[in-house]
Amino acid sequence: MPASASTDPGEVSDLDLVKRSQAGDTRAFDVLVTRYRGRIYAMTYHLIQNETEAWDLAQEAFIKAWRALPTFKHDAGFYTWLYRIAHNVSYDWLRKKKIQGDGEFDDERTEHRVAVGAEAAPKGDLAPDTALRNAELGQRIQEAIAKLSPEHRQVIILREVEGLAYEEIAALIPCSLGTVMSRLFYARKKLQEQLHDVYETSL
């Protein structure tokens, strides 16, 4: 699961801050918010792909965490626990949007018909990061991520950004290991399809 942020020597530990927060100390909780807001916001942003909504959902996650603090048992790291809350908040939002959008994301229905990519694209000698400037490639990747279904986007973020193991992803979603692997495969195929010019010319 995601590890907590490394703390400087002398910095108050998560455990101390959580205990104080559980006793009602909002200043301690404010320190936790400051410590983890960047990571929680990154996760909601990658999942939602909208700055305003991601900001609101990250805030919602911290509010939910505050309300749930009495149930926090210290058997998991605070960040891992917080991350689950933020993930669930964001993913619920995505699913509602998917339902309201009436098929805005449709790659779930077509994942077994994914093309292998532009096989006929000419090869070149440039590596991806030299074919496109980093910023441009980053923008292309963000746009490609935004076109994935919530389910595919979710596994890509959990694996590539958070570095979770398959078992951890399966437990978080929750779903079977086979589903995790299939979603990862087709999510990557979709991304590959959208970015085929980058990777075709690099190999």
Which parts of this chain interact with other proteins (CB under 8 A)?
A: 20, 23-30, 33-34, 37-39, 41-42, 45-46, 51, 55, 58-59, 62-63, 66-67, 112, 116-117, 128-129, 134, 137-138, 141-142, 145, 156-157, 159-162, 165-166, 178, 181-182, 184-186, 188-189, 191-192, 195, 198-200, 202-203
CA 198/CA 203 separation, integer angstroms: 9
Q: Which sign, positive or negative, has the C-alpha torsion 131, 133, 136, 138?
A: positive
Degrees to nearest 5, angle at CA 91 with 34 and 143: 85
CA 128/CA 138 separation, integer angstroms: 11
Q: Which is nearer to other proteins, 97 or 189 (CB)?
A: 189
> Look-up: residue for tokens 């077994």?
112
Q: Which is nearer to other proteins, 100 or 111 (CB)?
A: 111
Q: How far is the CB of 94 from other proteins (least distance, A)?
A: 17
Q: How far is the CB of 155 from other proteins (least distance, A)?
A: 10
Q: Which is nearer to other proteins, 101 or 138 (CB)?
A: 138
Please spell the DSSP secondary structure of 34-94, one letter per residue: HHHHHHHHHHHHHHH--HHHHHHHHHHHHHHHHHHGGG--SSS-HHHHHHHHHHHHHHHHH
Q: How far is the CB of 159 from other proteins (least distance, A)?
A: 7
How many residues belong to the chain?
203
CA 77/CA 2 separation, integer angstroms: 9
SS3 118: coil
Q: How far is the CB of 120 from other proteins (least distance, A)?
A: 13
Q: How far is the CB of 99 from other proteins (least distance, A)?
A: 26
Q: Which is nearer to other proteins, 74 or 133 (CB)?
A: 133
Q: Which is nearer to other proteins, 80 or 202 (CB)?
A: 202
